[in-house]
Homo-oligomer: A and B are copies of this chain.
Amino acid sequence: MSQYERTCMIRGDGGRTIRAVLDRICDKWTLLIVATLEEGRLRFTELQRHVPGISQRMLTLTLRNLERDGLVSRTAYAEVPPRVEYELTPMGQSLIPPALALAGWAIENNARILASRAAYGQEAGDGERTQG
């Protein structure tokens, strides 16, 4: 694949493609829920326990969006008390590998980014940023 074709995959028609993914996975909880559900089918409360810090409201909203987009399937059992189970669809599972690629990049580069961030603006001297 040429570099031109590669950047086109991202830049595409003005970036609509990449923005489509980002709009879907970039909220605060989606990827965490998907990763959690890869471990297996879980109930609402179980999910809430496995994703520390998520509120009831956000868990509901995120699951609804995932269900709506076909990444997660929801099964409600007509019981008392209610029981609802969530699991990844095949399409949901297919999101894991690219997500892992990102996570791997994060692990490899996070320290360097933090270092760069700490150093930014600290370069005392005559110029604050690179001079050509």
Contact = CB atoms under 8 A, between A and B. Distances in A.
B7 A38 contact: yes
A73 B130 CA distance: 8
12 contacts: A3-B39, A7-B39, A10-B100, A14-B52, A15-B35, A17-B106, A22-B26, A22-B102, A70-B112, A70-B113, A76-B131, A78-B131
- Chain A interface size, as a band, is 35 or more
A38 B5 CA distance: 12
Contacts of A130: 73-76
Contact of A18 (B14, B35, B67): B35
Nearest to A26: B26
A12 B32 CA distance: 10
A36 B11 CA distance: 7
B14 A53 contact: yes
A26 to B, nearest CB: 3
A61 to B, nearest CB: 14
Contacts of A129: 67, 74, 76
